[in-house]
Amino acid sequence: MVNNATFTLLTLALFTEVLTNMVKNVFPNLTGIYSNLVAGLFGVFISFGTQTGFFQLMDIPFNTPAIDYLLTGLIVARGSNFVHNMLDTLKPVAPARLMTQIRRR
């Protein structure tokens, strides 16, 4: 149950991150709180669209699904930053970038 919920939330966070980056490519000056707002909107839209709620995934009774989706969307939006950082860590380092990092030490 927990592994399924984790995988589902990470998948939604990945989609949120991809969509947010697409918008940031179109609007490169979109930074800070506005970037977070876009991620939050995508997270909420995706959660509502897929009808995925954190409490629902954890089998915790919640009377209002819309609030569950809203809260899940906000969690997913914050998770998208985690996914972004994780993907940056996993990217292969370009030789020029590696040399720059070595010179700084």
How does pLDDT run along the chain (105 residues), one tens digit per residue? 567 888 888 889 889 988 998 999 999 998 888 988 999 999 999 999 999 998 988 888 888 999 999 999 998 888 776 776 666 666 665 555 555 655 665
What confidence score (pLDDT) does residue 9 get?
86
d(CA 100, CA 93): 11
Residues 74 and 44: beta-carbon distance below 8 Å: yes
The structure's pTM equals 0.74
Q: Which residues contact 25 (CB under 8 A, 6 or more apart)?
A: none
Helices (H), 1-105: 2-26, 32-50, 54-57, 65-90, 95-104
What pLDDT, on a 0 to 100 scale, did the predictor assign at position 69? 94
Identify the pLDDT of residue 53: 92
pLDDT at res. 59: 87
